[in-house]
């Protein structure tokens, strides 16, 4: 009797401790969002949403200032897309290799190495891009500047590959053994099994991996700040410099007069970035639910 009561109390305490802890993190997140909107929205008293999102010129410190972030949005979108073009095939194929083809010994080496790639601080990748990759690119391709869209995309791909690869690998790994065995039993060879059975059933996990990799690339600040060149133009070639949203915020926030128009404009840029990454996360969540692997009979 006594022991049962004691256990109930302990359980109550544990449950509520966890409740409070999770509430705290939700509260903090909410406060950050609140702060972001509170500091960003005042901009729209003097600049229309259309001017802000579609304006071609970003001259925040001039009189009169111009707050058009269209070139910055395009820069973010471009480097994210091109880095995905590089990182998605590499990430997924390396995941397939590790999960399906590699021998145990090779797997034990390759998997940790790919995961180690994720542990490289972004400032180191940025520094590599700036001091090694940029001069090399300029030399070999004979272009005016090595700080350009292509260089930034390569560096961002380097950061997205481990995310995409390790999450995809987990998804492939969790495909049930019965599916593979059934496929082989029907006479399919290894390639047919991977491409028509294992890969499709892991698709939801792989899509999540891709989206998370992309949202890592779009939110990344240090690399694009160091490697993009920072010109606020809509890039029209791989070798143009550009200025993604996070780079602009990071570079200018320290110097923007407190609660001035420029300050509010940078927070408004933060809101745009917030919605973009939120969109990515919603898509990832949706994909994960839509193609959820349920039991062995899903195919």
Partner 1 sequence: MNFKKMLGTCWCAASLTIASGALAGNLVIKGSTTVLPIAQKAAEDFMKKNPSTSISVSGGGSGEGVKAIIDGTCDIATSSRDMKPEELTLAKEKGAEIVKHSVAMDCVAPVVHPDNKVTGLTLEQLKDIYMGKIRNWKEVGGDDKPIVVVSRDTSSGTFEIWHEKVLKKEKVTPEAQMSASSGAVAQIVSKNRFAIGYVGIGYINKDLKAVPVNGVRATPETALDGSFPVSRALYFFTRGELKDDIKAFVEFVLSDDGQKIVLEEGFVPLKK
Binding site for partner 1 (CB under 8 A): 57-62, 71, 130-131, 134-135, 138, 144-147, 225-226, 229-233, 241, 243, 250-252, 254-260, 262
* Residue in the block written with tokens 């065995």: 181
The CB-of-52 to partner 1 minimum distance in angstroms stands at 17
Nearer to partner 1, 210 or 247 (CB): 247
Nearer to partner 1, 51 or 115 (CB): 51
Strand ranges in the chain using DSSP code E only, listed in sequence order = 58-59, 66-67
Nearer to partner 1, 199 or 263 (CB): 263
Nearer to partner 1, 39 or 170 (CB): 39
Quickly list DSSP for 249-289: HHHHHTTSPTTSHHHHHHHHHHHHHHHHHHHHHHHHHHHHH
Helix (H, G, I), strand (E, B) or coil at 86: helix
- The whole-angstrom separation of Cα 263 and Cα 255 is 9
The CB-of-196 to partner 1 minimum distance in angstroms stands at 48
* Residue in the block written with tokens 């998997």: 111
Nearer to partner 1, 89 or 135 (CB): 135
The CB-of-272 to partner 1 minimum distance in angstroms stands at 19
In contact, 52 and 267? CB cutoff 8 Å: no
- The whole-angstrom separation of Cα 299 and Cα 282 is 25
Closest CA to 72 of 213, 254, 276, 283: 276
């Amino acid at each position: 009797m006594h022991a049962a009561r004691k256990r109930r109390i302990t359980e109550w305490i544990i449950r509520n401790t966890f409740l409070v802890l999770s509430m705290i993190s939700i509260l903090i997140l909410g406060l950050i969002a609140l702060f972001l909107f509170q500091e960003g929205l005042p901009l729209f008293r003097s600049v229309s949403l259309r001017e802000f999102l579609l304006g071609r010129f970003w001259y925040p410190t001039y009189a009169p200032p111009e707050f058009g972030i269209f070139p910055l949005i395009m820069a973010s979108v471009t480097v994210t897309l091109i880095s995905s073009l590089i990182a998605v095939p590499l990430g997924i194929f390396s995941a397939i290799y590790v999960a399906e083809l590699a021998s145990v010994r090779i797997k034990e080496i390759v998997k940790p190495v790919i995961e180690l790639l994720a542990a490289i601080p972004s400032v180191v990748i940025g520094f590599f891009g700036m001091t090694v990759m940029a001069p090399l690119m300029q030399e070999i391709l004979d272009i005016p500047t090595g700080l350009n869209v292509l260089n930034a995309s390569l560096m961002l791909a380097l950061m997205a590959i481990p995310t995409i690869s390790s999450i995809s690998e987990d998804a492939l790994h969790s495909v049930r053994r019965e599916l593979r065995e059934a496929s082989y039993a029907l006479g399919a060879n290894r390639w047919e099994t991977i491409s028509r059975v294992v890969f499709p059933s892991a698709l939801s996990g792989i899509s999540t991996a891709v989206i998370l990799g992309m949202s890592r690339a779009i939110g990344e600040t240090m690399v694009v700040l160091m490697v993009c060149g920072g010109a606020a133009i809509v890039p029209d070639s791989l070798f143009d410099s550009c200025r993604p949203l996070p780079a602009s915020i990071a570079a200018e926030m320290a110097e923007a007069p407190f609660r001035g128009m420029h300050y509010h404009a940078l927070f408004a840029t933060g809101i745009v970035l917030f919605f973009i990454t939120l969109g990515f996360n919603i898509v990832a969540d949706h994909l994960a639910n839509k193609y959820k692997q349920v039991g062995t009979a899903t195919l």
